[in-house]
């Protein structure tokens, strides 16, 4: 029996197609989890959580509390300064009224944090004020919840005491509500000894609670169950097995055991990869802290640490997927078509999703919401939450009921599979005959034929469309925030754009005089304070209105820089912020775009040459009239066109997204009109520089394509091409994204960003 079980596992796991499928599932899982958790410009980046975890790692719990509380207090003060300046930038009576109202409430806060705001030193973990405020607020609220665990336990017991007092006067009979409260108090009464320790919970939550990983696990089980029965049915081997003594029973049991071990292995692989990836990029904290230290899991009534929770959670998921796999094996045994188990699997998924999504949590039959395939796979609810079901007026623990249902489903699935195999089995596949045919006209155009082979047969078109959508969505949804300072700069520059005139000169000189007067007053007050004629506190209060006057002076200095250049060269003013984003002077995370482009090229074109070797077609192609060179030329042309179209998507979408907030006029103006390029010595127009940038990005992508093409020509299989290409082209980019900047020097990223001034 054991030998047969290992044979069943080896038979499937040794197949190259299946191994490739498993590797792709793990890679796609990590990629999708990484991609959907990318910041949209308003939310914190994943590395922010890792940075905070590193800072508080060696602090005591009291020091952590004080540190996060100080961060929260500071960012609130900075936010008040930002609001005051934003109201000031609005102008008019409304803006002035809002500013005065805010200053009356928070004048001391404005004074305390104004200089910090000016310096920009408040950005400790993110790149923008909006991200910093959202990140620290999230961490602060999570910390408050974790450190109030004792209060939460007290509230559970208090509910029980209140119920007792009400019952005395109301003489209420026992019902589900009262029984639920009594049971909750009893389940939580032994948790007083649990001590919570704070770490950001983002990493551990994403790594252990995500629908994407579960759906990919389902896919792997469906693949395994399909392979498990397909070969024997296709070759009609079950007729031989049925004739052996005890062969049928041992055969089906070994297949079910193989399914069980597969579910455990694939669950550990996928969720283990999740934990390692998010542990490295986001941080998962101390694995030996109590599960109640994770804010979303604080309702758990179990004595578990995070490590134990992860292990139990993975084993429970494996059991749920085994139940799913056992039912698929049953369907595969009784069906004559190989696609029927897939239909049954998708049917079970759809039923579970409908029950989970559309039955309210407060419904009387809410147990149907949680005790189905989708609900049972959400182990964070089973072990990290607390809920009692109303079963005939009695409070039934969700955790206990869920585990009982998983056990029963596993037993039922095994029994059905065994009985079906012994009595009702269909031991060969029957092909469906389609009653019509489509006649395709042959053609002799090699380019069209290679396009069909690469884009349709090799699925490159699907890969290209998917990555174009990802790149387009990423760039179109990127947030380019207009700060109060940028609003001031934009309004000034849009008035100044074009040639220098007398009116523009007067406007700049008047604005400059206003700033000089404010700075002069500040210097005079400082002199009085130094001389002892004025107290420092009084001096700070006197300087406050003048500080408000000069708040936008850093932006005005940018205007003065252009003004001096325009006077010297008889050039033109231009509003340049949009171009700074477009050309990469202001960081736009071009690394991620290039990484996605590289991955797409590997997936789409990695098999361009290897596919002919796999089919042993080169010997046949070489003796044709046009020969091998014409075929290779066709492959290169198709790959070049696909690569150029792919690389164009982020460029176009980035331009559209930036232009929404930052007008970009004067494309024919000299590049040196932009202050960052004044001393570059490059005598081209802005549109000329943009064309050069586009050409260089195309060149970098095409070199990636050529490298993949060369690997494809040398390697025997697509899997080898993908592995070597990822190792050479993608790994340096991943290391760069993780903070190892030196790795970028061993990639094509410097070329991709070569003409982008930083």
Q: pLDDT digit string (tens) for 650-664?
A: 989 888 888 888 888
| Helix segments in 536-589, DSSP class H | 536-549, 553-569, 577-582
Give dist(CA 20, CA 101) in Å, integer. Answer: 64
Contact between residue 606 and residue 612 where contact means Cβ atoms under 8 Å apart: no
Report the pLDDT value the prediction gives residue 91, as an integer from 0 to 100.
62
Report the pLDDT value the prediction gives residue 428, as an integer from 0 to 100.
55
Give dist(CA 192, CA 177) in Å, integer. Answer: 24
90: pLDDT confidence band, cut at 50, 70 and 90? low
Q: What is the pLDDT of residues 271-292, one digit of tens each?
A: 999 999 999 889 888 899 999 9
% of residues, the chain, pLDDT over 70: 86
SS3 305: strand
617: pLDDT confidence band, cut at 50, 70 and 90? low
Strands, E assignment, 299-449: 388-391, 394-397
278 Cβ partners below 8 Å, 6+ apart? 33, 46, 203, 204, 206, 207, 284
Contacts 24+ apart (CB under 8 A), 743-749: 744/591, 748/594, 748/598, 748/700, 748/703, 748/704, 749/591, 749/594
What is the helix, strand, coil percentage profile of the chain, to 5?
75, 0, 25
Contact between residue 372 and residue 356 where contact means Cβ atoms under 8 Å apart: yes
Q: For residue 499, which phi and psi values (nearest 5 degrees)? A: -70, 155
Give dist(CA 229, CA 255) in Å, integer. Answer: 9
Contact between residue 138 and residue 356 where contact means Cβ atoms under 8 Å apart: no
Report the pLDDT value the prediction gives residue 23, as an integer from 0 to 100.
85
- Inform me whether the pLDDT recorded for 122 exceeds 70: yes
Q: What is the pLDDT of residues 372-430, one digit of tens each?
A: 888 888 888 889 888 888 877 778 888 899 999 999 999 998 998 888 877 765 655 45
645: pLDDT confidence band, cut at 50, 70 and 90? very high
Span 495-522, mean pLDDT? 88
Q: What is the pLDDT of residues 694-750, one digit of tens each?
A: 999 999 999 999 999 888 887 767 777 887 888 888 888 877 876 667 777 888 888
Name the range with the highest mean pLDDT among 96-100, 325-329, 349-353, 365-369: 325-329
Assigned token pair, 391: 């079963």
- Inform me whether the pLDDT recorded for 244 exceeds 50: yes
Give dist(CA 347, CA 333) in Å, integer. Answer: 17
pTM, two decimals, is 0.63
- Inform me whether the pLDDT recorded for 644 exceeds 90: yes
Average pLDDT score, the chain:
81
What are the residues facing 305 on neighbouring strands? Answer: 290
Give dist(CA 231, CA 237) in Å, integer. Answer: 8
440: pLDDT confidence band, cut at 50, 70 and 90? very low
Span 334-338, mean pLDDT? 72
- Inform me whether the pLDDT recorded for 639 exceeds 80: yes
- Inform me whether the pLDDT recorded for 190 exceeds 90: no
Give dist(CA 309, CA 72) in Å, integer. Answer: 31
The pairing of strands 388-391 and 394-397 is antiparallel
Span 171-176, mean pLDDT? 59
- Inform me whether the pLDDT recorded for 117 exceeds 90: no
Report the pLDDT value the prediction gives residue 236, as an integer from 0 to 100.
58
């Amino acid at each position: 029996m054991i030998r047969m079980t290992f044979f069943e596992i080896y038979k499937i796991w040794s197949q190259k197609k299946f191994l490739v499928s498993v590797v792709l599932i793990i890679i796609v899982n990590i990629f999708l989890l990484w991609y959907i958790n990318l910041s949209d410009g308003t939310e914190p980046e994943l590395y922010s959580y890792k940075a905070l975890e590193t800072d508080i790692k060696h602090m005591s719990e009291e020091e952590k509390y004080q540190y996060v509380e100080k961060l929260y207090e500071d960012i609130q003060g900075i936010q008040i300064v930002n609001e005051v300046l934003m109201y000031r930038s609005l102008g008019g009576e409304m803006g002035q009224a809002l500013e005065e109202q805010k200053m009356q409430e928070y004048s001391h806060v404005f004074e305390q944090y104004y200089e910090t705001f000016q310096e920009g030193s408040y950005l400790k973990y993110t790149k923008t004020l909006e991200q910093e405020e959202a990140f620290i607020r999230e961490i602060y609220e999570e910390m408050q919840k974790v450190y109030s665990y004792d209060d939460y336990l007290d509230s559970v017991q208090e509910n029980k005491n209140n119920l007792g007092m009400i019952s005395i006067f109301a003489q209420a009979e026992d019902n589900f509500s009262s029984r639920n409260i009594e049971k909750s108090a009893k389940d939580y009464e032994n948790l007083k000894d649990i001590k919570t320790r704070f770490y950001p919970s983002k990493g551990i939550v994403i790594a252990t609670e995500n629908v994407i990983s579960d759906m990919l696990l389902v896919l792997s089980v469906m693949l395994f169950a399909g392979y498990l029965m397909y070969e024997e049915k296709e070759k009609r081997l079950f007729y031989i097995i049925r004739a052996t003594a005890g062969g049928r029973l041992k055969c089906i049991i070994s297949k079910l055991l193989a399914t069980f071990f597969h579910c455990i292995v694939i669950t550990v692989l996928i969720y283990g990869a999740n934990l390692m990836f998010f542990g490295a990029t986001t941080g998962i904290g101390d694995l030996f802290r109590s599960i109640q230290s994770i804010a979303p899991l604080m309702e758990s009534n179990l004595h578990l640490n995070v490590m134990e929770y992860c292990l139990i959670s993975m084993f429970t998921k494996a059991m749920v997927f085994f139940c799913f796999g056992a039912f698929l094996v049953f369907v595969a045994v009784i069906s004559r078509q190989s696609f029927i188990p897939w239909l049954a699997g998708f049917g079970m998924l759809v039923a579970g999703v409908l029950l989970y999504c559309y039955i309210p949590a407060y419904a009387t039959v809410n147990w149907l919401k949680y005790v189905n395939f989708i609900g049972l796979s959400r182990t964070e609810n089973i072990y990290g939450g607390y809920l009692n079901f109303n079963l005939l007026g009695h409070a039934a623990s969700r955790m206990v009921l869920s585990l009982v249902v998983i056990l029963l489903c596993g037993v039922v699935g095994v029994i059905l599979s065994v009985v079906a195999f012994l009595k009702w089995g269909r031991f060969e596949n029957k092909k469906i005959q389609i009653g019509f045919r489509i006649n395709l006209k042959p053609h002799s155009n090699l380019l069209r034929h290679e396009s069909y082979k690469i884009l349709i047969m090799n699925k490159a078109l699907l890969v290209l469309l998917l990555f174009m959508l990802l790149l387009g969505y990423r760039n179109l949804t990127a947030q380019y925030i207009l700060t109060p300072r940028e609003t001031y700069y934009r309004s000034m520059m849009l008035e100044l754009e074009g040639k220098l005139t007398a009116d523009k000169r007067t406007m700049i000189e008047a604005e400059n005089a206003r700033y000089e007067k404010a700075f002069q007053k500040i210097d005079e007050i400082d002199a009085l304070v130094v001389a002892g004629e004025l107290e420092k506190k009084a001096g700070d209060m006197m300087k406050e209105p003048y500080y408000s006057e000069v708040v936008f002076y850093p932006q005005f200095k940018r205007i003065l820089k252009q003004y001096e250049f325009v006077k010297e060269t008889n050039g033109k003013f231009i509003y340049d912020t949009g171009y700074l984003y477009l050309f990469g002077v202001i960081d736009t995370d071009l690394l991620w775009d290039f990484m996605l482009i590289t991955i797409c090229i590997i997936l789409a074109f990695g098999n361009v040459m290897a596919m002919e070797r796999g089919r042993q077609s080169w010997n046949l192609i070489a003796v044709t009239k046009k020969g091998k060179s014409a075929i290779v030329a066709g492959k290169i042309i198709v790959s070049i066109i696909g690569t150029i179209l792919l690389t164009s998507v982020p460029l176009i979408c980035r331009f559209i997204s930036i232009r929404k907030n930052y007008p970009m006029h004067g494309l024919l103006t000299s590049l040196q009109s932009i202050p960052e390029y004044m001393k570059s010595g490059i005598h081209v127009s802005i549109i000329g520089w943009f064309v050069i940038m586009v050409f260089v990005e195309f060149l970098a992508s095409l070199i990636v394509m050529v490298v993949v093409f060369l690997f494809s020509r040398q390697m025997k299989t697509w899997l080898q091409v993908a592995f070597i290409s990822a190792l050479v082209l993608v790994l340096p980019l991943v290391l760069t994204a993780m903070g190892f900047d030196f790795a970028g020097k061993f990639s094509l990223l410097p070329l991709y960003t070569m003409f982008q001034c930083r």
